[in-house]
Structure 1
Amino acid sequence: MSETTIGPDGKSRCRWSDAAPEFIDYHDNEWGFPVGDDHKLFEKICLEGFQSGLSWRTILAKRENFRKAFHNFDYDKVAQFTNEDRDRLLQDAGIIRHRGKIEAAINNAKRAQELVKAEGSLAAFIWRYEPQEDDLAEPQTLTTSPASIALSKDLKKRGWKFVGPTTMFALMQAMGLINDHVKGCTTREKVTEARRAFKRPT
């Protein structure tokens, strides 16, 4: 089976992009492009945690509701959430009403504050785990990697929740720490160029 698919506009894309109409824009304009913004990285960590056991389509459909519920994933604001906020979110049908995942997001906001204080920024910390090109397998053949395992282990050591190696690998794919667009995908070269121009946070 081909690793690519031809979209309605005639462009070749990663095969997963044809699973739902809304995936095309996400694939073309977000997935794989490098991100150095702390709030966007925190958002993705949280959403990947909420996705655990579910489809990304479910999360993508509810993403704006998540952003509203979690103050655009401003971890300084989320860290102040109380038990009453947790209970309110458990009644919010616009998001995933999973107690463990909601509590993890609140916990991780506090851990993010600690990490930023210790390391300077969330972005600087996460981008330390960018793998070397020589360490990468063929695109979309893995669900974990040595780098995602190391990042997961370090975050767990710091008290983060729902940050397993598979979740961290998905973070790396989406946030551009690796270019996992398959060969033949028209977006792959765009991501390559964006990664080349991206100034790694320090």
Structure 2
Amino acid sequence: MSDDASGLIHHPDGCPRCWWPGLDPVYVAYHDTEWGVPEHDGRALYEKLILDGFQAGLSWITILRRREGFRKAFAGFDPEAIARFTEADVARLMDDTGIIRNRAKIVGTIAGARAFLAIEERGPGFSRFLWDFVDGTPIKGTATDRTGIATQTEVSRRMSKALKTQGFTFCGPTIVYAFMQAVGLVNDHLVGCHRHAACAASGGAA
């Protein structure tokens, strides 16, 4: 592996990648198969938004390594099931070592499930609600080095405000921008990364 000044890491397999996964195989797999791929499934978008909220103050790899634990604890991130969680479920989750045990974030997950269902009931759904912020088409990142990657944007600030209005928590503009990057609302792979073109080719409305 070699790391150049742009922030690209050149792995032994010959593929240049963004700097942030390093050599961690779990992180590299996530970078290569999930991050930046446009996601249009509402439930998957809800899951990722919630997990990004749990990430606040932590590293994403910490959450990624516990993702299956989160899925088990939160009923596969089925919003209908989570919306019915009670105080007893909150207490159960506070004893679950497979997740990050933060009461405010657990309660926020339940509130987010109820907000998700309200958006779904009003139509046209949570996925459309989010994708409308980018007019249905991923924003094309053009950064050639890590200094060109934003931490928040005008779009993430508007989305953050809208999500909070709907009842979501732990969705500030920086968290929301990380979410947008992860689910392909913006393609922020560095231009020299081998995934940049692939993600760009998979963009567009569902």
**Which bin holds the TM-score, normalised by the shorter protein?**
over 0.9
Q: Does 1:142 align with 2:147?
A: no
2:159 maps to 1:151: yes
Partner of 2:73: 69
Letter paired with 1:138: A
Asked whether the equivalents of residues 101 and 162 of structure 1 are also in contact (C-alpha less than 8 Å), the reply is: yes
Counterpart among 167, 179, 203 of residue 171 in structure 1? 179
TM-score (norm 2): 0.91
- Letter in structure 1 aligned against 2:16: S
Deviation at 1:92? 0.1
Unaligned runs of 5+ in 1: none
Per-residue CA shift, 1:165-198, capped at 9, x if unaligned? 0111011100001110001100111101111xx4
- Asked if residue 43 in structure 1 is aligned to residue 69 in structure 2, the reply is no
CA deviations 1:132-183 (Å, max 9, x no partner) are: 7888663652110111100000111122111110111011100001110001
**Residue identity in the other structure for 2:131:** W
Say if 2:21 is the partner of 1:13: no
SS of the residue corresponding to residue 5 of structure 1 reads strand
Question: Which stretch shows the higher mean deviation, 5-14 or 145-154?
Answer: 5-14
Q: Which runs of 4+ in 1 moved over 4 A?
A: 131-137
* Secondary structure, counterpart of 2:9 in structure 1: strand
Cα offset, 1:2, TM superposition: 2.2
Distance in structure 2 (CA, Å) of the matches to 1:6 and 1:137: 19
Aligned to 1:180: 188
SS in 2 for 1:18: coil
Q: State the partner residue of 1:160.
A: 168
CA change 1:18–1:136 in 2 (3 A) is closer
Q: Which runs of 5+ in 2 are unaligned?
A: none
Q: Is the 8 A contact 2:38 2:138 kept in 1?
A: no
CA distance, structure 1, for counterparts of residue 65 and residue 128 of structure 2: 29
Does the Cα contact within 8 Å between 2:139 and 2:187 map onto a contact in 1?
Answer: no
C-alpha distance in structure 1 between counterparts of 2:127 and 2:89, whole Å: 27
Aligned residues: 198
The correspondence for 1:88, drawn from 92, 105, 114, is 92
* 1:119, distance to aligned residue in structure 2 (A): 2.8
- Equivalent of 1:55, from 55, 59, 62? 59
Q: CA deviation at 1:118?
A: 1.5
Q: Percent identity?
A: 40
Report the RMSD for the aligned CA atoms in angstroms: 1.8
Letter in 1 for 2:200: T
